[in-house]
């Protein structure tokens, strides 16, 4: 086990998560540095979202420790931003985009009025976040009337408005078209370069983020591998993880993963292929 690094923003040690007598994962050591981009991969039910929930302080570990910024994780830490799984907002939802983003600023003080100075500071921060995600054109429209991609950009802005040191993203690209996927991924990447924000990015589709990824955490059925993409996304490692023959082939600028037999490669592609374009 590595020595505790003072500048690690996230640190899990000997982390175990069990539900009843099912062990989701155990023996997980993970240290995340400022500005590190961590992709969290694995089939359905392998414990990706649960990892984020542990870091958000809402899911206790069964054993081991979870620290953020050198202290045990806690609920409502404004230094941890969160982009939840995308759900299309109700068409009739009248909340304006700007107000949705504002919820990220004072999400930890629900219902409490802010003093005037804080109100102005909030308005400025919300405006900055809206500009950062290039959502100014529709920020004053009711969010229910926006497209999925536009809503998702506002969610990114909402997560950024508290100026987090760690950004937890739970499949933020789901159901976006390729152009929107690229834009949202680039926004998140730009943020980490600008502010050294560490990113933990849960995804079934590594395609749009592969060039950004420093570290892959790949869960399969209680087992996992942690390492740089070129050391984890290999036929040997994935075959070992899946306990079946899996092939990772580099095709021009893409990685093609064949044979995992799970939702990763059941996305409508012929021949059970999972494409990871760079």
Decide whether 42 or 208 has the Cβ nearer to ligand ATP. Answer: 42
Q: Which of residues 124-163 bind ligand ATP (CB under 6 A)?
A: none
Please count the other Cβ atoms lying within 10 Å of the Cβ belonging to residue 4.
Answer: 11
Q: What is the 3-state secondary structure (H, E, C) of the chain?
A: CCCCCCCCCEEEEEEEEEECCEEEEEEEEEEECCCCEEEEECCCCCCHHHHHHHHCCCCCCCEEEEEECCEECCCCCCCEEEECCCCCCCCCCCCEHHHHHHHHHCHHHCCCCCCHHHHHHHHHHHHHHHHHCCCHHHCCCEHHHCCHHHHHHHHHHHHHCCCCCEEEEECCCCCCCHHHHHHHHHHHHHHHHHHCCEEEEECCCCHHHHHHCCEEEEEECCEEEEECHHHHCCHHHHHHHHCCCCEEEEECCEEEEECCCCHHHCCCCHHHEEEEEC
Q: Judged by CB under 6 A, which of 31, 46, 169, 198 binds ligand ATP?
A: 46
Decide whether 73 or 143 has the Cβ nearer to ligand ATP. Answer: 73
Q: Which stretch binds ligand ATP (CB under 6 A): 42-50, 64-72, 189-197, 225-233?
A: 42-50
Q: Judged by CB under 6 A, which of 9, 30, 47, 225 binds ligand ATP?
A: 47
Closest approach of ligand ATP to the CB of residue 22, in Å: 7
Decide whether 51 or 146 has the Cβ nearer to ligand ATP. Answer: 51
Q: Which of residues 1-30 bind ligand ATP (CB under 6 A)?
A: 19, 24
Contact 222, 21 (CB under 8 A): no
Q: Judged by CB under 6 A, which of 32, 48, 125, 257 binds ligand ATP?
A: 48
Closest approach of ligand ATP to the CB of residue 184, in Å: 18
Q: Does 45 bind ligand ATP (CB under 6 A)?
A: yes
Q: Does 44 bind ligand ATP (CB under 6 A)?
A: yes
Closest approach of ligand ATP to the CB of residue 92, in Å: 27
Q: Which stretch binds ligand ATP (CB under 6 A): 44-52, 61-69, 147-155, 242-250?
A: 44-52
Q: Judged by CB under 6 A, which of 9, 30, 37, 42 binds ligand ATP?
A: 42
Q: Give the binding site for ligand ATP (CB under 6 A).
A: 19, 24, 42, 44-50
């Amino acid at each position: 086990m590595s020595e505790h690094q003072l500048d690690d923003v996230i640190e899990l040690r000997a982390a175990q998560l069990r539900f009843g007598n099912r062990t989701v994962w155990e023996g997980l050591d993970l240290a995340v540095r400022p500005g590190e981009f961590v992709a969290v991969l694995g089939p359905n039910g392998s414990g990706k979202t649960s990892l984020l929930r542990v870091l958000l302080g809402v899911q206790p570990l069964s054993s081991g420790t979870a620290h953020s910024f050198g202290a045990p994780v806690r609920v409502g830490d404004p230094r941890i931003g969160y982009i939840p799984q995308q759900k299309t907002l109700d068409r009739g939802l009248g909340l304006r985009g700007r107000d949705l983003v504002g919820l990220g600023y004072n999400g930890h003080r629900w219902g409490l009025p802010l003093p005037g100075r804080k109100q102005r500071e909030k308005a400025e921060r919300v405006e900055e976040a809206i500009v950062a995600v290039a959502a100014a054109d529709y920020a004053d429209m009711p969010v229910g009337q926006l497209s999925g991609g536009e809503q998702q950009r506002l969610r990114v802005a909402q997560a950024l408005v508290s100026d987090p040191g760690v950004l937890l993203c739970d499949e933020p690209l789901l159901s976006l078209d390729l152009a929107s996927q690229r834009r949202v991924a680039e926004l998140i990447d730009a943020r980490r370069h600008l502010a050294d924000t560490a990113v933990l990015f849960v995804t079934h589709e590594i395609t749009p983020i592969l060039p950004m990824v420093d570290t892959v955490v790949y869960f399969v059925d209680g087992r996992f591998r942690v390492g740089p993409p070129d050391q984890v996304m290999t036929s040997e490692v994935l075959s070992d993880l899946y306990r079946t023959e899996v092939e990772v082939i580099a095709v021009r600028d893409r990685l093609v993963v064949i044979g995992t037999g799970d939702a990763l490669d059941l996305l409508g592609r012929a021949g059970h292929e999972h494409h990871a374009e760079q």
